Chain A
Amino acid sequence: MADTKVDLSTLLASSIHDTKNSLGMVLNSLDELLEQAGPDGECRCPAEKVGQLQYEARRLNDNLIQLLTIYRLEKHHYSPDIREWAISDFMADTVALHGPLLEFRNVGLELRCPQELHGYFDRDLVAGVLNNAINNALRYTRDRLRLSVTEAQGGLRFSVEDNGSGFPQAMLVSGSGSAIDFGAGRTGLGLYFSSLVAGFHRNGEHRGHIELTNGGELGGGRFSLYLP
């Protein structure tokens, strides 16, 4: 289904590896907190740490949802529910979900989307793609993030841009998640999931796809999802 066929078992192994790293980080933090518990039995914890825990927990959750959805899509157990949605409503949901964490991390969020734009897509699947891209951008951005939706190629383009140092060259070349890099936490799962979801959206002969680029107005990485 994806343009570049990824070996699912490799993907699974690397995702488990990544998930374990995340969980390890969460468990260590919890251990530290417990060790620092005062005689009154109260744990005091810097808000920054809680924010980090929240971020890791969300990543874990997103990873698991992605794996489950990939499994369902491939087994035909998922019934895509393609409907017409008001883009401004859909993006309002996305901002509402991510707003608090972004604010907490002092990352400025900008939303650009025309009021009257409508599009046809599976809301849960596309939300999953955006969540993944936003979490990813949040890890690499300096302090700014921009979400935008525009009409493009006869369909829609959803973009998530940041002002970090951009995607590594290897990822730009392969484009679809074959660059697996344990160290940087890039497992390819998110990109594989995203291209699978993109490909599931069709309009006549046209299929959705994803695109990774660097530069743009914010100067960092830009993830784009095109839906026909």
Chain B
Amino acid sequence: MAVNLSRKRFLVVDDFAQMRSTLRNMLSAYGVTEIDVAANGDEALQLIERGHPDVVLCDYNLGPGKNGQQVLEEAKHKGLIDGTTVFVMITAENTSEMVIGAMEYRPDDYLAKPFNKGLLHSRLTRLLEKKSDMADIDKAVRQGDLRQAICLCDERINAGKGHASEFLRLKGEFCLQLGDHDAAEATYEQVLAARRLGWAVLGQAKVAYLRGDCARAIQLCEEVIAENRSFMEAYDWLAKALQRQGDLARAQDVLSDAVKLSPMAVPRQRALGDVAAKNKDFAVAEGAYRAVLTFGRQSLHHEAGNYTRLAKALSSNAAGREALKVLQNLRKEFRSEPTALLQASLGEVGAYRALGLDTEAASAFDEAGKRFEALGGEVPRAVTLEMANGLLLTGEKEKGLAIMRSLVRNNHEDEQLLAEVQEAFSEAGLEEEGREIIAATRNEVVRLNNQGVELARRGQLEAAMQLFEEALLAMPENRAINLNTAQVMLAHMQEKGATSVRLEQVRACLDRVRTLEPTNPSLLRLAALHEKLAREMPDG
């Protein structure tokens, strides 16, 4: 398949004018006419948004400000570029330093300087060919249709024309995302039968972890690391499996080793901080959270929580004054964001308490309470949990319990959150009561949901609809309730005809599920049904 480079739109990003013009000259020599240039990361992001380039050639080192990896992550995260854009990272030397992030944030290719016109042309042509080769898979992924994406991978694999491992790798990831562990395992086995490759062994480890077989996951991850000490992703999964097994000390060691090799990986530093804080090793937690702030500053990982986590570690480490300084910076930097200010207040409660300043702590908590009310429920889960925790600790138990119940109701299937809720109860000395509340609230949701499903099964769609609508008022974020509300409403409309009000309600439910879990297997089917009914509406 011939690709015509000259018709493509290019963006060249480099902080050196000399390099920008060299690249521009190379591209012009291939007949390219549409070339934008940017001298730094922010400019690059603006030009990506405005110009929708087909190819981005971006240097990794961009001087002060964002680096190339941060540009890529932010562009992908904000949806400025999708799978059709070719992103080439130009590096000063070989690539290892940069291979730090998750797969989804890897560039399409790395190109080590210096290179000549011929090599760049050879690479670009091939990358564009590959993109057009992958266009259908990419489209399926964008539409959330992973089953279709897997079918398309299978077509390539079965064609047996070589390069199958690339598609097997994709297929494995799609299967994992879908929660189809058996298929993922079979895929990785197929790879390993031909050759032992680190990512396939790690794939097996992921399957084991997701099945709850932590011992096997740990063993496989250790094998991967023994074979390649700088396979960073293996450290992450090893630490996860160790944590789940309750071996927090070793999890911390593993992550400490990992950040020595790749200090700039922000999520990994955060994970280290979290596990160290749980181990009450606040010095390590502090170091890790500082690294999160420093390396995350220019990236999409920059958020208020980075300050509050550091402040919390400092408060626990008898450095309350310093914690207050950190929170002061948070207030400055995020002054127009009410949620961040709420987080700052909550952090200050802890800092003042650590300093033994109870009056100040109480007034900070007052401020937090007001901010929480003013936000009217539009607060991220972690912050809500912290607020409830504060209420329990200050003796405003009923208010605290109400918030905890609502958290459980909205997330009754989320084991990790439920564990955090339980931890917060324990911290407030309400371990047993908390356990009962979680179990009771959970059962209440399950019962309600089953009741609705049963009504629908017996054909009493009106009653089922009413039940789910009421449930949704109490737990608007609950995934199962949203899905079932949509399902029952769609079934009702299929029988009795669609109305625009109901269609809108269904759309809202599906949107919420999409935000919570984009690859939910039911989503695609329900969305298709919704679209069909909307199309058939008499007046559109």
Contact = CB atoms under 8 A, between A and B. Distances in A.
A65 interface: yes
Interface in A82-132: 82-84, 86, 89, 92-93, 95-97, 99-100, 116-118, 120, 124-125, 128
Interface residues of B, number: 33
Contacts of A89: 122, 126
Contacts of A100: 116, 118
Nearest to A119: B162
B119 A77 contact: no
Given A116-B162, A118-B163, A77 B230 contact: yes
A79 B165 contact: no
Nearest to A204: B196
A93 B115 CA distance: 10
A7 B121 CA distance: 40
Interface stretch (B15-23, B94-102, B324-332): B94-102
A96 B121 contact: yes
Nearest to B168: A84
Contacts of B164: 84
Contact of A124 (B95, B119, B197, B231): B95
A125 to B, nearest CB: 8
Contacts of A52: none
A120 B197 CA distance: 9
Contact of A83 (B96, B116, B165, B261): B165
A82 B119 contact: no
Contacts of A28: none
B213 interface: no
A23 B390 CA distance: 67
Interface in B495-533: none
Contacts of A21: none
B230 A78 contact: yes
Contact of A116 (B110, B121, B161, B198): B161
Contacts of B123: 93
Given A68-B93, A72-B96, A93-B122, A79 B163 contact: no
A65 B94 contact: yes
Contacts of B163: 84, 86, 118
B517 to A, nearest CB: 30
Nearest to A54: B116
B182 to A, nearest CB: 24
A76 B162 CA distance: 31
B96 A79 contact: yes
A191 B80 CA distance: 45
Nearest to B162: A118
A95 B232 CA distance: 33
Given A77-B230, A116-B162, A99 B118 contact: yes
A69 interface: yes
A72 B262 CA distance: 13
Nearest to A118: B162
B118 A124 contact: no
Contacts of A83: 165-166
A81 B169 CA distance: 14
Interface in B90-141: 93-97, 99, 110, 112, 114-116, 118-119, 121-123, 126
A89 B123 CA distance: 9
Which of B121, B195, B231 has the most chain A CB atoms inside 10 A of its CB?
Answer: B195
Nearest to A116: B162
B93 A65 contact: yes
B228 interface: yes
Given A68-B93, A116-B161, A77 B116 contact: no
B162 A86 contact: yes
Contacts of B228: 79-80
Contact of B230 (A69, A79, A84, A125): A79
B229 interface: yes
B119 A93 contact: yes
A203 interface: yes
A61 interface: yes
Contacts of A124: 94-95, 110, 112
Nearest to B227: A202
A19 to B, nearest CB: 16
A99 to B, nearest CB: 6
Interface string B247-263: 00000000000000100
A13 to B, nearest CB: 22
A78 B197 contact: no
A97 B115 contact: yes
Interface in A27-73: 61, 65, 68-69, 72
B99 A79 contact: yes
A30 B425 CA distance: 75
B116 A97 contact: yes
A25 to B, nearest CB: 19
Contacts of A128: 94
Contacts of A118: 162-163
Interface string B227-240: 01111100000000
A207 B65 CA distance: 43
Contacts of A116: 161-162
A120 B195 contact: yes
Contacts of B114: 61
Interface string A191-221: 0000000000001100000000000000000
Which of A83, A96, A116 has the most chain B CB atoms inside 10 A of its CB?
Answer: A96
Given A76-B229, A118-B162, A203 B122 contact: no
Contact of A84 (B96, B97, B110, B165): B165
Contacts of A68: 93-94
A65 B94 CA distance: 8
A78 B230 CA distance: 7
A61 B112 CA distance: 11
A68 B116 CA distance: 21
Contacts of B94: 65, 68-69, 72, 78, 124-125, 128
A19 B122 CA distance: 30
Given A83-B165, A120-B197, A96 B119 contact: yes
Contacts of B165: 83-84, 120
A203 B192 CA distance: 11
Q: Which 8 A-B pairs have the closest CB atoms?
A: A96-B118, A79-B230, A96-B122, A118-B162, A84-B165, A76-B229, A97-B119, A78-B96
28 contacts: A65-B112, A72-B96, A76-B229, A78-B230, A79-B228, A81-B96, A83-B165, A84-B165, A86-B162, A93-B122, A96-B116, A96-B118, A97-B115, A97-B116, A97-B119, A100-B116, A100-B118, A116-B161, A116-B162, A117-B162, A118-B162, A120-B197, A124-B95, A124-B112, A128-B94, A203-B195, A203-B196, A204-B196
Given A78-B96, A96-B121, 8 more contacts: A68-B94, A76-B230, A77-B230, A92-B122, A96-B116, A96-B122, A118-B162, A204-B196
